[in-house]
Amino acid sequence: MDFEIYRGELVAFCYRMLGSVHEAEDLVQETLLRAWKARDRYDPARASVRTWLYRIATNVCLTALEGRGRRPLPSGLGLPSDDPEAPLKPALDVPWLEPFPDARFDVEARTDLRLAWVAAVQVLSARQRAVLVLREVLAFSAAEVAEQLGTTVAAVNSALQRARAALADVRDAGAVPEPDNPEAQAVIQRYMQAFEAANVPALVRLLTDDAVLEMPPVPLWYRGSRDYGRFLQRVFQVRGSGWRMRALTANGQPALAAYTPVEPGGRWRLHTLQVLTVTDGRIAHNVVFADPRVFDAFELPGEIPTAEFRRER
């Protein structure tokens, strides 16, 4: 039996459950190891290989989540700040939600990998998360999910109803275009150009009025284009202009790797990974990650020389 063909979708499943791609990869490895050891006991008359693997993965995730809190974003922990000079002190004791590196995994359905959706799922109980993802994202039947969780169809339906109610606001927030949507791409290109030029007025014009900026592992966050712009003004005062940006995707959303100049005309050093939400031709949300573990997951180079950026342009 070839279990490896399911690795990508299993990583996405475990990521939706735990909010960490690093943990997801570890749990998928454990899942495949358990499946290999139990392969002689697999009964094709009871379930397909895929369904069987998801049952193992679900149990592995539920065990990993026992006694554990959720992985939040800063906006899930407190009120926004209106002070652009607030200290940028990281909260390293918080297990922050991580972004998902699209390019490393062949995952067809990315809609329910959106950062806002995964963050909202973290509020659910572990079993509610499992029911929601297995039923709504992966389209397993209620009977299959009941078998996977060792419970009844009625219990599965009840858990799904509660999970849907808890996530109603997220699902009703409006459609988010795919990263290759021409309008979204145009907005991202203008954002990149303005950011590289440290042009705060141009950046603010690309934002929705209530745009959100957050920066895990710093628990600080801002709401509104005015405060977003005031904070960026602070960043450029400290770091200067001459940034370089690389476009990629994360969680099925546009993302940018931001590189700050180390020396004029010389090298650029990786500063942040920014995951953006574009709605109605404007940027509504930017989650800015500065964790080296996130950079590693996206396989981003720490420094880039001038010549390489010239080749890209």
Q: Which H or E run includes 57?
A: helix 49-65
pLDDT tens figures, 81-118: 999 999 999 999 999 999 999 988 876 656 678 998 99
Q: Mean pLDDT across the stretch 263-280?
A: 88
d(CA 262, CA 222): 27
Q: What is the pLDDT of residue 172?
A: 47
Q: Mean pLDDT across the stretch 128-138?
A: 93
End-to-end CA distance of the chain: 45
Locate the domains of the chain by residue range: 4-66+125-166, 182-312
Amino acid, res. 123: V
Q: Is the pLDDT at 287 greater than 60, yes or no?
A: yes
Strand partners, 260: 269
pLDDT tens figures, 186-240: 999 999 999 999 999 999 999 999 999 999 999 999 999 999 999 999 999 998 8
Q: What is the pLDDT of residue 306?
A: 67
* Whether the Cβ atoms of residue 46 and residue 189 lie closer than 8 Å to each other: no
Q: What is the pLDDT of residue 113?
A: 87
Q: What is the pLDDT of residue 111?
A: 62
Local confidence band at 298 (pLDDT 50, 70, 90 cut-offs): very high
- Where do the H-state alpha helices sit in 133-199? 142-149, 153-166, 168-171, 182-196
Q: What is the pLDDT of residue 189?
A: 96
Q: What is the pLDDT of residue 109?
A: 59
pLDDT tens figures, 21-32: 999 999 999 999
d(CA 146, CA 152): 5
Strand partners, 275: 255, 287
Q: What is the pLDDT of residue 169?
A: 66
Q: How many CB atoms neighbour CB 129 within 10 A?
A: 25
Q: What is the pLDDT of residue 81?
A: 96
Local confidence band at 309 (pLDDT 50, 70, 90 cut-offs): low
pLDDT greater at residue 281 or residue 175: 281
Residues contacting 24, CB < 8 A, separation 6+: 11, 12, 13, 14, 15, 17, 18
Local confidence band at 241 (pLDDT 50, 70, 90 cut-offs): confident
Query: What's phi and psi for 26, nearest 5 deg?
Result: -65, -40
Q: Which two tokens stand for residue 30?
A: 């454990």
Q: How many CA atoms lie within 13 A of 163 on its CB side?
A: 24
Local confidence band at 295 (pLDDT 50, 70, 90 cut-offs): very high
CATH number, span 182-312: 3.10.450.50
CATH superfamily of domain region 4-66+125-166: PhyR, sigma-like (SL) domain (1.20.140.160)
d(CA 168, CA 155): 20
Question: What does the angle CA 109 – CA 137 – CA 163 come to, to the nearest 5 degrees?
Answer: 140
Local confidence band at 69 (pLDDT 50, 70, 90 cut-offs): confident
Same fold, 4-66+125-166 and 182-312: no
